Amino acid sequence: MRKIDANGFELPAIGQGGWTLGDVPMKRREEIYALRYGIELGMNMIDTAEMYGEGASELLIGEAIRGIDRDNIILVSKVFPYNSGSDKIFDSCDGTLRRLGVDYVDLYLLHWREDYVNLEETVECMEELILRGKIRRWGVSNFDESDMAELWKTPGGDRCAVDQVMYNVGSRGIEFDLLPWAKERSVGIMAYEPLLQAGQLKRMHPDVMHDETLESLAEKYGVSTAQIMLAFTIRSGSVSAIPKATSAAHVTENSEAANILLTEDDIGRIDAVFWPPSCKMHLDID
């Protein structure tokens, strides 16, 4: 599995998303199997959050990783903004650890920013969690370039490892400013919804998986359209993607996408259909 550098923290180019995992009891067994199989294939980074199913995702992931060498897994979870202050974050992190059944998480992210969030206090708390051995590194999610610039000026803010944002072939706004900013400072970008799932599909034509250009490239490489989309998302070498997969077949597809190296001509063909940004765009958030 290819790797990216996240401010000195090595992450796989493709991991596994935990959104909606554990929401449907009938799918539990299949979801657990998919996660374990993904780890076997090298996608050992699993993303979740206390918000996902109000802890249901963390509980399922905890069950899935039981019995697997903890050193071989990279766990990522996220704290609600209203739990990010010193009065709540430590209990919140303990709740995440309890549901996952582990002593620490590898990456702990501020899920999104609100006006009431005190960045300096949150950074101090994140650093304290590291000292307590509860987390290895910390980061943020849904931070735009201006948010990251402000974070960087905050004492200790330059220790941020990743910014998790929506990024895919149809949502490319971060390429204008956030992605270059992060790459210059070695901050890893973790892309959620790399396959345009959930609400993102509503904002684009529903036949994106049958786009002629993407289908043509899929045929060229003997892969699926989804694999081309994943390969596109991680092409820069500084972006890690966390697609969700609940079947062994999709897990296999996701892992194999890391081996696809698109050419400049391939990228140009995609650019002609899914235009890169030519100006500042609002950060897509789902």
Whether the predicted pLDDT of 171 surpasses 50:
yes
| Residue 181 DSSP one-character state | H
- CATH number, domain of 228, equals 3.20.20.100
Residue 283 lies in a domain: no
Task: Kindly report, residue by residue over 43-102, the tens digit of the pLDDT.
Answer: 999 999 999 999 999 999 999 999 999 999 999 999 999 999 999 999 999 999 999 999
In this structure, is residue 280 part of a structural domain? Answer: no
Please provide the average confidence, as pLDDT, over all residues in the chain.
Answer: 94
Question: Is 286 within a domain?
Answer: no
Q: Distance between CA atoms of 41 and 118, rounded to whole angstroms? A: 40
Residue 26 lies in a domain: yes
* Percent of the chain topping pLDDT 90: 89
Three-state DSSP class for 94? helix
pLDDT tens-place string over residues 115-126: 999 999 999 999
Q: Please check whether residue 256 lies inside any domain of the structure.
A: yes
Amino acid at position 36, single letter:
R
Contacts (Cβ under 8 Å, ≥6 apart) of 139? 6, 107, 108, 109, 110, 160, 161, 162, 163, 164, 188, 190
Residue 185 has pLDDT above 60, yes or no: yes
Residue 253 is which amino acid? E
Whether 265 is in a domain gets the answer yes
Domain membership flag for residue 168: yes
Contacts for 28-32: CB closer than 8 Å, 24+ residues apart: 28/60, 30/246, 30/247, 31/60, 31/64, 31/246, 32/60, 32/63, 32/64
Give the confidence band of 206 by pLDDT, cuts at 50, 70, 90: low
What whole-number distance in Å separates Cα of residue 119 and Cα of residue 93? 17
0.85 exceeded by the pTM?
yes
Q: Count Cβ atoms within 10 A of the Cβ of residue 77 and give its class: 0-12 exposed, 13-18 middle, 19 or more buried.
A: buried
**In the predicted structure, residue 247 carries a pLDDT above the cut 50:** yes
Mean pLDDT over 140-154 rounds to 97
Could you tell me the residue range of the domain that residue 69 belongs to?
3-271
The answer as to whether 281 is a domain residue is no
For the chain, the domain total comes to 1
